[in-house]
Amino acid sequence: MPTITVNLEEGDKTIEAAHGVKLVLALEDAGIDISHRCGGYGKCTTCACEISTGEPATKTQAEIDKGFDKGRLSCQILVENDMTVKPLMRVRDMNWDAPGNRPQDQITP
């Protein structure tokens, strides 16, 4: 079971994630207020994370098409190994009242 170290403003949090789970869902289900305003379709970039260790070498077509270069889109990443990540747009930091529709379990679109 992969371990994810999450760098948060209030300190690091370590979580265990099921192998193959979407990164955005692993973070949200661990109580981290990561944003996902487009519902996990690779369009909004609000789920972006800096990944300092364990970054996947490949990208989905949606992530390539988006061309976002300030981090990786956690809705487009499956957790397959230990990682260290830092969410870039948390709900509380953006003053939003909700993160967005819950992404589906599988990669979309």
Give the tokens for residue 96: 């939003």
CB of 84 to ligand FES, least distance (A): 19
Q: Which stretch binds ligand FES (CB under 6 A): 9-17, 40-48, 52-60, 80-88?
A: 40-48
Backbone phi, psi, residue 65, to 5°: -65, -35
Q: How far is it, in rounded angstroms, from Cα 62 to Cα 52? A: 22
Looking up tokens 């760098």, which residue turns up? 7
CB of 54 to ligand FES, least distance (A): 18
- Contact residues: ligand FES, CB under 6 A: 36-38, 40-47, 73, 75
